[in-house]
C-alpha cells in the first residue's frame, strides 16, 4: 500500500456523529462527491441499473494506487448489452486503472472498476477525505449539478448545497440538528467527514 498524506485518525474524525446522520443514505460520500469527476452519473438511465456504490479503498485488495476511487457494479449476466456499454465506457476513461471480480451476491456478479483520481485535482481528493467540502476548487464545483433526478423525480442536490453552504442547507442543518441561529459561524462544514466504515469496501471493525 502507498501511504497517503492523511491518517486513519483524521479520516475517522467527524463534525457530526456518523451513526444516524440524516444525510447519510444508501450511497457513500465517495459516490456522491467524486464520481462526477469521471463523468459517472449514478442516477443515469443505464448506470443506475448496475451501480452499487463507490469507495476510497477495498480492504481485501492489495494495491499501490495513490488516489484511487473504487466503483462497484453488479450484473446478472456479464454479456448483458447494457452492462457491456457501461463497462466499456468506464474502460475508455483516461482515469481507468483496472477492474477485478468481487464474487457473486444474490445471484449477481460483482465487478470492481478502479479509477485514479486526476493528479490535477489531487487537492480536491484530499479536501474530500478531510471533509473540507467548502474548500473544493472551482473546477470541481463546475462538475456538481444543482439538481439530480432520482426515483422520486428531480430533487435538490445535497452535494451542491453542502459544498456551497447554501441558505437551503443552512436551514436543513438547523432544523435537523436543533441548532440555534448563528450556528453557521461556528460550523466549518454542513456534513460529517468520510469514515472508513462507510467509505472502505469490505472494512472489518477490529
What does the pLDDT average to over 157-178?
A: 89
- Give the angle 70-133-185 at the CA atoms, nearest 5°: 155
**Domain contains 206:** no
**Domain contains 149:** yes
**Domain contains 2:** no
What does the pLDDT average to over 104-108?
A: 95
**Domain contains 146:** yes
**Domain contains 162:** yes
Between the CA of residue 132 and those of 12, 15, 128, 187, what are the distances in Å?
14, 11, 6, 11
pTM: 0.85
What does the pLDDT average to over 11-23?
A: 41
pLDDT of residue 19: 37
> At residue 24, does pLDDT exceed 80?
no
Range of the domain at 70: 8-201
Our count of domains for the chain comes to: 1
**Domain contains 3:** no
pLDDT of residue 146: 92
The partner residues of 53 in beta bridges, in order of sequence, read: 72
**Domain contains 192:** yes
- The segment with the largest mean pLDDT, out of 19-28, 96-105, 172-181, is 96-105
> At residue 59, does pLDDT exceed 90?
yes
**Domain contains 185:** yes
Amino acid at each position: 500500500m502507498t501511504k497517503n498524506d492523511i491518517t486513519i485518525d483524521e479520516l475517522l474524525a467527524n463534525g457530526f456523529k456518523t451513526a444516524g446522520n440524516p444525510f447519510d443514505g444508501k450511497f457513500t460520500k465517495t459516490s456522491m462527491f467524486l464520481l462526477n469527476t469521471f463523468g459517472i452519473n449514478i442516477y443515469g438511465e443505464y448506470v443506475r441499473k448496475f451501480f452499487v456504490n463507490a469507495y476510497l479503498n477495498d480492504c481485501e485488495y492489495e494495491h499501490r494506487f495513490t488516489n484511487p476511487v473504487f466503483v462497484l457494479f453488479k450484473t446478472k449476466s456479464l454479456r448483458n448489452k447494457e452492462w457491456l456499454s457501461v463497462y466499456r465506457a468506464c474502460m475508455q476513461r483516461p482515469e481507468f486503472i483496472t477492474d477485478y471480480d468481487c464474487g457473486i451476491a444474490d445471484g449477481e456478479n460483482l465487478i470492481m472498476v478502479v479509477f485514479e483520481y486526476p493528479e490535477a485535482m489531487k487537492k480536491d481528493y484530499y479536501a474530500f477525505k478531510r471533509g473540507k467540502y467548502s474548500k473544493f476548487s472551482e473546477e470541481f464545483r463546475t462538475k456538481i449539478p444543482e439538481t439530480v433526478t432520482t426515483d422520486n423525480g428531480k430533487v435538490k442536490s445535497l452535494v451542491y448545497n453542502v459544498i456551497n453552504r447554501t441558505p437551503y442547507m443552512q436551514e436543513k442543518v438547523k432544523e435537523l440538528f436543533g441548532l440555534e441561529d448563528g450556528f453557521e459561524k461556528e460550523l466549518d462544514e454542513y456534513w460529517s467527514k468520510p469514515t472508513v466504515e462507510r467509505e472502505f469496501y469490505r472494512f472489518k471493525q477490529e
